[in-house]
């Protein structure tokens, strides 16, 4: 997964990223296209999403500092998005390399860029709720009680579905802030009408409706693990992505849910390799060394359909840092994905990295971290 919302990466780098994935048999490119800090995909029916929602900095409507803090200069405007023509080009480029592209539109939380673009469609004007996300972004959540929210999502999903031939769209679902909708008259009316007893049940209602919209456009859903809380009425084909721990993935598997393993302690490549002020990357979780990634055993089950690494971009100020945090950990990811645990051997893997993989990547212009 490459996050292009927090820091934007152009078409040339995305293709380079895809080339290196293909080289090591990584066959799904999860493209995190929207978040609080930027909406990066052109939606023709809603042009303000990129006119307003793809621009942040001084005199704009988007936040610039979140926790963990966005790095880099904050005294200038930053902007960037992909046109639909560029999207089609990248999708075709990936398919030519046996890679399917999974787009992500992160909702209902992590949606500040959409909210500042279309507040009249996505917020209850009488809602006096005041809250912050875990990243300290204020009031960043779509209102699930408004019919205009579902009309908006129907229009967005229709265009996204037409751009991406892969059968799934990732719809987020993570980290809905406490306090969201707490003082929304529209949500209170919705709860009374449908006999919903809690905020969790409101979120379940939201995702059941959104899943229906996906089905209308011939797509199935991938979502982060939080969507499973409260047993929402989702289709059996929908997929859960477990990020908080391997145990979260095992719980989903026990419920016979198709599950992708992406645990933070092994597969979050935005984290530092080792705790050091000289290392780029985040420190909010534990360090993730290449050896730690290589040690991950996802287990085996008919419902366990893959492993997945996340490269969030709050600290990715340039392509050099992005490369450094991805490689060589992505080499370890490939062997976790494709090799039996009995076949894995760290000493042999380390030798092959040093003799073959890292020299090749260096010649290809990839800025890799040396192997300890």
Neighbours of 214 (CB within 10 A): 23
For β-strands 28-32 and 2-3, DSSP reports them as parallel
Dihedral angle, C-alpha 210, 211, 213, 215, nearest 10 °: 170
Neighbours of 17 (CB within 10 A): 24
CA–CA distance, 254 with 240 (Å, rounded to integer): 12
Backbone angles phi, psi at 243, to 5 degrees: -115, -25
Task: Tally the residues of the chain.
Answer: 372
The set of residues, in sequence order, having a beta carbon less than 8 Å from that of 146 and lying 6+ positions away, is 121, 122, 123, 124, 186
- Exposed / middle / buried, residue 50 (Cβ in 10 Å: 0-12, 13-18, 19+): buried
DSSP 281-338: SB-SS----HHHHHH------TTEEEE--BB--TT--SHHHHHHHHTTHHHHHHHHHH
CA–CA distance, 246 with 97 (Å, rounded to integer): 30
What are the catalytic residues? 35, 110, 175
């Amino acid at each position: 997964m490459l996050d292009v919302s927090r820091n934007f990466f152009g078409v040339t780098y995305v293709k380079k990223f895809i080339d290196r994935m293909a080289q090591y048999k990584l066959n799904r490119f999860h493209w995190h296209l929207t978040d609080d800090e930027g909406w990066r995909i052109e939606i023709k029916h809603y042009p303000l999403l990129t006119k307003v929602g793809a621009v942040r900095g001084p005199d704009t409507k988007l936040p610039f500092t979140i926790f963990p803090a966005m790095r880099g200069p904050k005294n200038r405007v930053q902007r960037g998005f992909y046109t639909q023509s560029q999207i089609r080009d990248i999708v075709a480029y990936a398919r030519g390399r046996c890679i399917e592209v999974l787009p992500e539109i992160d909702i209902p939380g992590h949606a500040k860029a959409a909210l500042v673009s279309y507040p009249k469609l996505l917020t209850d004007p009488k809602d006096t709720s005041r809250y912050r996300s875990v990243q300290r972004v204020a009031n960043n959540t779509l209102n699930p009680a408004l019919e205009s929210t579902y009309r908006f999502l129907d229009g967005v999903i229709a265009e996204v579905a037409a751009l991406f031939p892969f059968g799934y769209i990732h719809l987020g679902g993570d980290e809905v802030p406490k306090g969201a909708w707490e003082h929304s008259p529209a949500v209170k009316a919705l709860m009374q009408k449908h006999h919903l007893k809690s905020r969790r049940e409101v979120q379940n209602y939201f995702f059941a409706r959104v899943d229906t919209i996906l089905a209308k456009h011939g797509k199935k859903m991938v979502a982060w693990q939080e969507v499973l809380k409260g047993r929402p009425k989702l289709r059996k084909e929908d997929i859960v992505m477990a990020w908080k721990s391997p145990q979260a993935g095992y719980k989903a598997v026990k419920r016979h849910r198709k599950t992708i393993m992406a645990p933070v302690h092994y597969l979050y490549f935005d984290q530092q390799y080792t705790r050091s002020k000289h290392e780029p990357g985040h420190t909010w979780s534990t360090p993730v060394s290449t050896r730690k990634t290589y040690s991950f055993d996802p287990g085996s089950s008919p419902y366990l359909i893959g492993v997945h690494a996340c490269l969030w971009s709050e600290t990715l100020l340039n392509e050099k840092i992005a490369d450094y945090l991805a490689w060589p950990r992505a080499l370890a990811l490939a062997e976790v994905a494709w090799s039996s645990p009995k076949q894995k051997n760290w000493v042999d893997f380390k030798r092959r990295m040093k003799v073959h993989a890292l020299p090749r990547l260096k010649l290809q212009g990839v800025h890799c971290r040396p192997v300890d």
